[in-house]
Amino acid sequence: MIEVRGLHLRYGGVAALDGVDLALRAGEFVALLGASGSGKTTLLRSLAGLEFPDAGQVLIEGRDMAAVPARERGVGFVFQNYALFRHMTVFENIAFGLRIRPRGQRPGRTEIARRVEELLALVRLPGMGERHPDQLSGGQRQRVALARALAIEPRVLLLDEPFGALDAKVRKELRHWLRGLHDRLGLTSLFVTHDQDEALELADRVAVMRDGRVVQFDTPEALLAAPADAGVAGFLGDAVPVDCVVREGRAWFEGLPPVEVAGVKGGKAVAFLRPVDLLAEAGAGEARVAAARQDGRGVRLTVEVAGMLLEATPTPGWAPRRGEACRVTVLAARVFPA
Amino acid sequence: MRRPTEEAPWLRWVLCLAAVGVALLFLVLPLVAVFAEAFRRGWGPVAKSLSDPDALAAVRLTLLVAAIAVPVNLVGGVAAAWAIAKFDFPGKRLLTVLIELPFSVSPVISGLVYVLVFGAQGWLGPWLEERGVQVVFALPGIVLATIFVTFPFVARTLIPLMQDQGRTEEEAAATLGAGGWAMFRRVTLPNIRWALLSGVLLCNARAMGEFGAVSVVSGHVRGETNTMPLHVEILYNEYQFVAAFAVAGLLALLALVTLGAKAVLERAG
């Protein structure tokens, strides 16, 4: 559906894209995840025809896009700050893509009005057509931007940090709603985010970008279970790097019991441990409860082991108290040679 | 309670009075003087000097020059601002500096440059003369000098605004299928229309009032190459004070109408 081959783009001597390869299947919902400056927005803009790569190919539905300008790509694009036309009403914003079509393909006035109303209902803003963008909340603007992009009936939808400017609650609501919309309309979507929760929760597959390259492209489960390298492992799932030594198929830690690791060559290594990898239980042991705090998702436990502070998961039914001694078991670890 | 950024009341009063005083002394008083001098002997002499054929010719020439120079600078200024604000290209900084050039060069020099290039002893003058085209001491020279001097107004008002607005709305229009013209007409132009209008009005005011550059290239032929400011000077030098101030008053009135229109339009926008 969308295929990117060996894309290179330099900005005044700095490589923004340094050989990107990526292939999306029709109907997929894919996240481009990476820190700022990793090239994810540049990649997205290259797909829309807003950036011009120095080398490489972009194919959409098998067609080479090199000579196709942005206005002919028929790709829906939602900008980070929405880029709504500030002097137009919501209605006119959404109708824009239809009104500027060449005479032969332009729908009639009543047809345009009908389509806009339909889109307003789709993004749950019925009756808001006469408002101006500055009279809307952030979440509403975001949905207008989406409706405007959908008006041209794109097969491909590109979204640049679609939830970036919204507060946490609106963000969560919109996430699920957007995913539902994608499924219902049969779109192929690619969205840029620096929020791993968003990417892992929403996407069918996640492309992790670093230094202008896609370092791993896989399902969220596979990314968490088998990160391609130490960088990806450290980036995902609040993992903390801990020094260890690999010997006889096991990783040995200071102050923690060893854990089985497969396929890592012996010697010094770094293990990435997530809160869910560490199980803490009451009883005499080398660890001590450094902090225990109740929040909306359960108990957040921090234990002190051999001078390190690690987040761990308490066994059910145990209410840890500060200073209490405890035992920590390592359930799993992703280990890379140091 | 006084806010931390607020000054003592007496200081505020002094500052306000100083500002108003300066404005009255340097801006309002001369304007009042122009009209007072013109109407010193009532309406009769004013009407008579304004209906003088040379005065009428000067008014016509001034309006004609503005009618050519302003549209040229409107198109040129918008094009320059659009290019500078929305695209990256080599030489962009140089262009930005060049746009300011007419402001920093003395208008007399601007006029002299045209005489050098197009005059009888100039680079292109003889070549043009053979073909029966006269630039200097004729309408084309006056128009060229006016265009040069008033070029920055439109571009200068637009560039900061357009840079501030960024390119994303245009990019959004492009992804929705808009070509260059549709993008400009439906997205860019509505976003800049008030600034554009204000730039055009300022450009117009200056085009009608320009003295230095036009004086050099005009040749001061009465009834032919005299614009209003030049006509005022000639009348004044001939001690025809009432007539001079009558024409000056009309010129000032044109400028005031322009400023008034600008204020009204800015309030509407």
What is the pLDDT at residue B2? 62
Phi/psi of residue A29, nearest 5 degrees: -115, 110
Residues B242-262: tens digit of each pLDDT: 889 999 999 999 888 888 888
User: Which tokens belong to A326?
Assistant: 């405890």
**Range A220-226 average pLDDT:** 89
- Give the residue among B149, B119, B136, B137 at the shortest CA–CA distance from B220: B137
User: Which tokens belong to A230?
Assistant: 């130490």
A74: chain B residues, CB-CB within 8 Å? 177
Q: Tell the burial category of B244 from Cβ atoms under 10 Å away from its Cβ (0-12, 13-18, 19+).
A: buried
User: How far apart are alpha carbons A60 and A74 in whole angstroms?
Assistant: 10
User: Which residues, 6+ apart, have CB-to-CB distance to B170 below 8 Å?
Assistant: B86, B183, B187, B188
Q: Cβ distance B116 to B191 under 8 Å?
A: no
User: How far apart are alpha carbons B228 and A267 in whole angstroms?
Assistant: 92
* B175:A148 CB<8 A: no
Q: Distances from the Cα of A262 to the Cαs of A194, A245, B163, in angstroms?
A: 30, 13, 56
- Give the residue among A124, A69, A118, A71 at the shortest CA–CA distance from A94: A118
**B169 → closest Cβ in A69, A83, A100:** A83
B186 touches chain A (CB under 8 A): yes
User: How far apart are alpha carbons B254 and B58 in whole angstroms?
Assistant: 14
| Helix B241-268 with B228-237: angle, nearest 10 deg | 150
B179: chain A residues, CB-CB within 8 Å? 71
What is the pLDDT at residue A286? 83
Question: How many C-beta atoms surround the C-beta of residue A55 within 10 A?
Answer: 12
B179 touches chain A (CB under 8 A): yes
Torsion-angle region of residue A131: left (phi > 0), alpha (psi -120 to 50) or beta?
A: beta
Q: Percentage of residues in chain B with pLDDT exceeding 70?
A: 99
User: How far apart are alpha carbons B105 and B202 in whole angstroms?
Assistant: 19
Confidence of residue A73 (pLDDT cuts 50, 70, 90): very high
> How many angstroms from the chain centroid is the CA of residue B232?
18
A133: chain B residues, CB-CB within 8 Å? none
B168 touches chain A (CB under 8 A): yes
* A79:B177 CB<8 A: no
* Residue of B87, B162, B169, B175 for testing the chain A interface, max A β-carbons within 10 Å: B175
CB pairs under 8 A between A and B: 64
Question: How many C-beta atoms surround the C-beta of residue B241 within 10 A?
Answer: 14
Q: Percentage of residues in chain B with pLDDT exceeding 90?
A: 45
**Range B206-225 average pLDDT:** 88
3-state secondary structure of A293: strand
Q: Measured between CA atoms, how close is A248 to chain B, in angstroms?
A: 57
Q: Report whether pLDDT(A257) > 90.
A: no
Strands A205-210 and A29-33: parallel
* A71:B169 CB<8 A: no
Question: How many C-beta atoms surround the C-beta of residue A171 within 10 A?
Answer: 19
B178 touches chain A (CB under 8 A): yes
User: Which tokens belong to A256?
Assistant: 């923690």
Residues A24-54: tens digit of each pLDDT: 999 999 999 998 889 999 999 999 999 999 9
| DSSP secondary structure of A7-21 | EEEEETTEEEEEEEE
3-state secondary structure of B238: coil
- Give the residue among B6, B212, B222, B188 at the shortest CA–CA distance from B79: B188
Q: Which residue of B has its CA nearest to A153?
A: B176
**Range B27-46 average pLDDT:** 87
A11 touches chain B (CB under 8 A): no
Using the structure block, give the residue that is written with the tokens 């660890």: A287
**Range A282-291 average pLDDT:** 85
Residue at A34: amino acid letter? G
User: Which residues, 6+ apart, have CB-to-CB distance to B59 below 8 Å?
Assistant: B228, B250
* A85:B175 CB<8 A: no
User: Which tokens belong to A130?
Assistant: 């006469």
* B175:A70 CB<8 A: yes
Q: Distances from the Cα of B1 to the Cαs of B8, B13, B132, in angstroms?
A: 11, 18, 77
What is the pLDDT at residue B269? 62
Confidence of residue B160 (pLDDT cuts 50, 70, 90): very high
3-state secondary structure of A255: coil
* B172:A79 CB<8 A: yes
* A79:B168 CB<8 A: yes
What ranges make up the beta strands (E) of A198-323?
205-210, 213-218, 240-247, 250-252, 259-260, 267-273, 278-295, 298-305, 308-314
* B175:A69 CB<8 A: no
Residues B127-148: tens digit of each pLDDT: 888 888 888 888 999 999 999 9
| Range list of H helices, A159-281 | 168-185, 196-202, 220-225, 230-235
Q: Which residue of B has its CA nearest to A76?
A: B175
Q: Report whether pLDDT(A210) > 60.
A: yes
Sign of CA dihedral A246, A251, A254, A258: negative
What is the pLDDT at residue A117? 94
* B171:A76 CB<8 A: no
* A71:B176 CB<8 A: yes
Q: Report whether pLDDT(B214) > 80.
A: yes
Q: Tell the burial category of A274 from Cβ atoms under 10 Å away from its Cβ (0-12, 13-18, 19+).
A: buried
Confidence of residue B21 (pLDDT cuts 50, 70, 90): very high
Residues A95-137: tens digit of each pLDDT: 999 999 988 889 999 999 999 999 999 999 998 999 999 999 9
- Stated as kind and residue range, the H or E segment containing A59 is strand A55-60
A107 touches chain B (CB under 8 A): no
> How many angstroms from the chain centroid is the CA of residue B36?
26
User: Which tokens belong to B51?
Assistant: 């209906």
Q: Which residue of A has its CA nearest to B189?
A: A87
Residues B79-118: tens digit of each pLDDT: 999 999 888 888 888 998 999 899 898 989 988 888 888 8
What is the pLDDT at residue B192? 93
Mean of pLDDT over chain B: 89
User: How far apart are alpha carbons B218 and B140 in whole angstroms?
Assistant: 10
Q: Report whether pLDDT(B1) > 70.
A: no
A88: chain B residues, CB-CB within 8 Å? 190
Confidence of residue B67 (pLDDT cuts 50, 70, 90): very high
Q: Cβ distance B254 to B70 under 8 Å?
A: no
Q: Measured between CA atoms, how close is B201 to chain A, in angstroms?
A: 23
User: Which residues, 6+ apart, have CB-to-CB distance to A155 below 8 Å?
Assistant: A1, A61, A74, A187, A188
> Residues B237, B238, B243, B244: what is their CA dihedral angle, to the nearest 10 degrees?
0
B180 touches chain A (CB under 8 A): no
User: Which tokens belong to A150?
Assistant: 């959908």
Q: Measured between CA atoms, how close is A187 to chain B, in angstroms?
A: 17
User: How far apart are alpha carbons A161 and A41 in whole angstroms?
Assistant: 9
Confidence of residue B218 (pLDDT cuts 50, 70, 90): confident
A70: chain B residues, CB-CB within 8 Å? 171, 174-175
User: How far apart are alpha carbons A185 and A178 in whole angstroms?
Assistant: 11
What is the pLDDT at residue A192? 95
* Residue of B176, B184, B188 for testing the chain A interface, max A β-carbons within 10 Å: B176
